[in-house]
Amino acid sequence: MGNYSAQKPRVLLTEPIFPEVHKLLEQHTCLTIGERGTLNTENELLKQIAGYEGILSMLSNPFTAKVINAAQNLKVIANHAVGYNNIDTEACKKKNIRVANTPGVLTNATADGTLALMLSCLRNIPQADRFVRAAKFDGWHPTGFLGMELTGKNLGVLGLGQIGKAVATRCKAFGMQVFYHNRNRLSLNLEKELGVTYCASVEDLAKKADILTLHCPLTEETHHLIDKSVFSVMKNNAWLINATRGPVVKESDLAEALHSGKIAGAGLDVYEFEPHILDRLMSAPNTILLPHIASATRETRLKMGMLAAGAILKELCNTELEHNFVV
């Protein structure tokens, strides 16, 4: 549990990440590192939170108002993620607790991961791999594992922030037509520069898209934004890609759309009730399910850890490292 010192602030890292981050925090703080999975409930956090001045948290840690109100000495929570929907920021404001996240550093990795998921779906990569490993490959076949080309297809991007723009840029290189919907429309000059076309509603975007990829944050407005009303207007040969936040999609409606053939398929990296996945979604056809790895490169995840650690050290030790505060 660490050797406590009156000269150093107490910091909790909710689960192990990188040795480099551990070492940095240990140099300046009295660090406790939790075991993976043990702090993923409100009750467990309530037992632990009272003694710490800083916490480096994961998206799986629910810092509810009840947890925040139980904090006696807490000054900063740094989330190891670009999002922070697991933290009640209003409760933090009331207690003058700073909240930090890790935007920017995972843009390219997540965009690359989105393209990898997209191509895996459209070109039947996992199915073909399993076919070969099952010793079924008997040579080239003219109609084996036929997929869909990206060139000439319509990409619908829901949320054209940093990651959405990075995905759009990559897909333009594949010769795709890119449409988008945003809470706030981009300037006409920026639309021209990016080569994207605005759609006034989610439904309009869904109607046009051969591939609908989600990159909006999870908010009250975007919770279940993609549901049966959206699936009902999508093309029957269209695909859904989600590498943002699971609850943006109503998972039961998606499962029904997949089983009924309303849409062609889906590639998912995140889930509504993560880590639980609905049985009906698990059994859905033409679906690739990944374990939340779109940003999983060593370079990116290490940068995320160092950025979160930097925010904690800035707040508790006045140590100037890279950091980002949202509250």
Q: Which two tokens stand for residue 285?
A: 């056809």
Q: Of 47, 44, 56, 69, which Cα lies nearest the Cα of 11?
A: 56
Active site residue 26: no
274 part of the active site: yes
Would you give the distance in Å from CA 206 to the centre of its chain? 21
Q: Which of 185, 256, 292, 322 is catalytic?
A: 292
Instruction: Provide the token pair at 215.
Output: 């990159």
Those residues whose C-beta lies under 8 Å from the C-beta of residue 185, and which sit 6 or more positions away, are: 198
Measure the CA dihedral 72/78/84/88, to 10°.
10
d(CA 291, CA 82): 17
Exposure b/e, 202-236, CB count within 10 A at least 16 = b: beebbbbbbbbbbbbbbeeebeebbbeebbebbbe
List the catalytic residue out of 44, 274, 280, 322: 274
> Secondary structure of the chain: what % helix, strand, coil (to 5)?
40, 15, 45
Instruction: Report the SS3 class of residue 16.
Output: coil
The verdict on whether 245 is a catalytic residue reads yes
- Smallest CA-to-CA distance from 56 within 106, 2, 16 is with 16
Among 245, 251, 315, 323, the active-site one is 245
The amino acid that residue 149 corresponds to is E
Catalytic residues: 245, 274, 292
